Copies of this chain bind each other. A is one copy, B any other.
Amino acid sequence: MTPTAPRRRPTITDVAREAGVAASTVSRAFTRPGRVNAATRDHVLAVAERLGYAPNPAAQALESGRSNTVALVVPDITNPYFAGVIKGAERAAAQAGLTLVLADAQENPAHEEQLVRRLGPAVDGFVLMASRMPDPVLRRTAELNRVVLVNRACTGLASVVADYDDGTRQIVAHLAAHGHRSFVFLGGPAESWSGARRWAGLRAAAREHGLEATRFGPYLPILASGPAAADAVLAHRATAVVAHNDMLAIGVLTRLSARGVAVPEQVSVVGFDNVFGSDFCHPPLTTLAERTEEAGAHAIAGLGQQSSTGTRDTPARVLPTHLVVRASSGPAPDGPG
């Protein structure tokens, strides 16, 4: 049997009364320890500690207009792809003395918009990860908030993006080197900005290398889309397939294995993201890795820059990508290799 509701939180006034000083002195003891007599300060801090006092962030924010809190909005917090970005952002935020709150847009632009509206007044800025909001909404959002986009671009807004042009070139070069003459791209959601960039890059690189590229889809970028995607690949008699992301790629691997198709002997499979699991699926997946932690850290830094310089004219930051070659890709069945 525990007591009832939590007891009232001590306020700065409680501490002041208990310590026999004015509220402003208590405030100073916390925020400008130098500007108060050492003895007084120690006494005040001791009383505060005893009472379990902690400054109310809401009140602080109201006064200063700054909450020292930034929000990171991701499309789906349970998608392992975002783990790296979150980690990187967390570390950078902690280092900058900022509290990071995470919010999940639940793959829903409307929900994302509502989230930003609700959180907006309470935070100092947003990192919008792979935002699905349309450009105009994004721009309107940026009028009232500091914003940095990650893996999404929108003219006039700061962003951090992966170098898909180079990354897709690496993928196509890898396939071409193994004697593949064509490949199939399994596309993700139509509204996905990164999906569009990936396909555009693949197509351009294919042209450079004289490969034929075909797009299938769209597929939901999840394991469960594997069977449909894999069956389409088999029907097309493709020797190589590049999936929108690793989840889809792993789903394809599972289906191919179930249908007795050998990977990479009969079909090579390549994914994007290098997510958790891509190294221990069967066979381990060849995939394009991004510097996700760096992206998260840069995004937070970009936010900080906007605060200090008072401008948001941060150039779009492009982060390198690199192909992680594992066992799921190899020589084309009819190729020279």
Contact = CB atoms under 8 A, between A and B. Distances in A.
A182 B312 CA distance: 64
Given A77-B102, A104-B90, A280-B281, A146 B6 contact: yes
A1, A2, A311 — most chain B CB neighbours (10 Å): A2
A7 B143 contact: yes
A250 to B, nearest CB: 6
A4 B311 contact: yes
Interface in A284-309: 306
Interface residues of A, number: 61
What is the total number of copies of this protein in its complex?
2
Contacts of A117: 54
A310 B7 CA distance: 11
A5 interface: yes
Contacts of A67: 58
Most B C-beta atoms less than 10 A away, residue of A7, A54, A157, A313 = A54
A7 B90 CA distance: 27
A277 B156 CA distance: 39
A264 B223 CA distance: 25
Contacts of A281: 277, 280-282
